[in-house]
Amino acid sequence: MDKLKKVEEIVKASCLTSKRFKAHKFQWAHVQSVRKFAIELAKKLNADIEIVDMAALLHDIGRVRYSHEDHEKTSAEDSEKILKELDYPNEFIKKVIRAVLTHRGSALPEPETTEEKIVACADAMSHFDNLLTLFYVYMRDFEKTPEEAREWTVGKIEKAWRKVCKIPEAKELLEEKYKAAKLIFADKIQWD
């Protein structure tokens, strides 16, 4: 088995067996969506696809294993351990770790390289593949009303769109989905 497949198995198993939160199956779908967008952007921007793919695969491993809080740091730490165990070159590991560490965009450090910016953007882009799941999971896991979940989802859409707009190629890919999402979640939900 090649090393990328081994990492994929580790991440998938972590997502699908996580006891930390109920949305573990959604988390694996999220990782797959991030990878899809990251690879597509890497091709468009002539970035290092291997680094982008690996960072997209590992970007939330700390989130599913430990906690959402500071998960970029725990994800970077676990990524380093996994990649070292599989004998990846140190320079490759450093670049992947940096992309994992900067993927949130809202936490420091900021993404600097094209690869880092792609992973952060692809993470935001993935929300547009999973809007209804985000809405449902937020409502269920946090015991919110449909209107509270709608408001949270609208906020998530806007935050994700701001990240997407930092890369013109990403904005072009998602503009129609953004417009559709705004339309779907435009009306308040009456919940008496």
22, pLDDT greater than 70: no
Residue 35's contacts (CB-CB under 8 Å, 6 or more residues apart) are: 53, 56, 57, 122
129 in a domain, yes or no? yes
> What is the pLDDT at residue 68?
74
94 in a domain, yes or no? yes
pTM (2 decimals)? 0.91
Domain total of the chain:
1
DSSP 8-class letter at 128: G
189 in a domain, yes or no? no
Structure tokens at 66: 């430990």
Report CA-CA distances (Å) from 157 to 39, 77, 85, 98.
22, 29, 37, 25
Q: What is the CATH number of the domain that holds 61?
A: 1.10.3210.10
Tell me the mean pLDDT in the region 105-124.
86
Residue with tokens 């998938």: 12
Q: Which domain holds residue 172?
A: 3-184
Q: Taking Cα atoms as reference points, which of 146, 140, 142, 107 lies closest to residue 123? A: 107
How far is Cα 80 from Cα 105, in angstroms, rounded to an integer?
20
190 in a domain, yes or no? no
7 in a domain, yes or no? yes
pLDDT 10s digits, 26-73 = 788 899 999 999 999 999 999 999 999 999 999 988 888 877 777 888
> What is the pLDDT at residue 1?
65
- Where residue 89 falls (left for φ over 0; alpha for ψ -120 to 50; beta otherwise) is beta
Supply the DSSP string of 11-31, one letter for each residue.
HHHHHHH--S-TTHHHHHHHH
Is the distance from CB of 117 to CB of 103 less than 8 angstroms? no
